[in-house]
Amino acid sequence: MDEAKALVGRAIGEVNATINSGKSETAMYGDFERIFARYADVPVIARSALGPAARSASNAQMAEFTKAYQGYIARKYGRRFREFIGGQIEVTDARPVKTYFEVISVARLRGESPFDLRWHVSDRSGKNLFFNIIIEGVNMLASERTEIGAMLDRRRGDVDALIVDLRTA
C-alpha cells in the first residue's frame, strides 16, 4: 500500500513540475507522455480502451495502437492539466481493494472546490503502475472505452484507421 501511495505521489510530483515549468502546452505533451509511460500500465489501459476489438487485433496492431493511444492520452489530458497551474494535488490515503490498491488524493485548483481523485494501482505487470483514475466519480477506463469504441465505430471497425487518427488527435 505504501508503494502504491509513493508511486502516485511521484507521478503527481512530476505532473505538477511539468505544469508549473512555464513550458508551452505543446512542449508539455512530451513530458506528460513520458510520465504516463513511466507510471501507468499503458498496455493494460490501451487494451481496455480498445475493448472487444483488442481480441481480434494482431500483435502488431496492438503495439501500434498502444503507442498511438499513449500519445493521444498525453495530449488529451495534457490540455486539461493547464487548469491545474497554481493548484495542488495531494495524496491523502490508500486502501486495498480486491487485487489492487486505491490511492486517494484531493485536487485543489484555484477558484474551485477541492475534488477527489482515486488512482487504481496494481503490480500485476511486474511492478506497481496505475491502470485507472476515478475523477470526481468518473471512471477514466470506462469513459475511454466508450470514446474509443465510438471512434472505432465511425471508422467501421478499422483499427488501422483509428491508429492513424489517434496519432493526430
**Per-residue pLDDT reduced to its tens digit, 105-154:** 999 888 889 999 999 999 999 999 999 999 999 999 999 999 999 999 99
Quote the Cα angle for 119-123-68, to 5°. Answer: 70
Residue 22 has pLDDT above 90, yes or no: no
What domain range is 119 assigned to?
2-168
**Per-residue pLDDT reduced to its tens digit, 62-92:** 999 999 999 999 999 888 877 777 788 899 9
Residue among 135, 103, 132, 144 at smallest CA distance from 117: 135
CATH number of 154's domain: 3.10.450.710
Residue among 74, 101, 99 at smallest CA distance from 6: 101
Looking at the DSSP assignment, which residues form a beta bridge with residue 69?
A: none
Calpha distance 165→169 (Å, rounded)? 6
Task: State the pLDDT at residue 25.
Answer: 84
**Domain count of the fold of the chain:** 1
Task: State the pLDDT at residue 46.
Answer: 97
Residue 102 has pLDDT above 90, yes or no: yes
What value does the mean pLDDT of the chain take? 93
Task: State the pLDDT at residue 19.
Answer: 85
Any idea which of 28-32, 52-56, 157-161 has the lowest mean pLDDT?
A: 28-32
Calpha distance 27→30 (Å, rounded)? 6
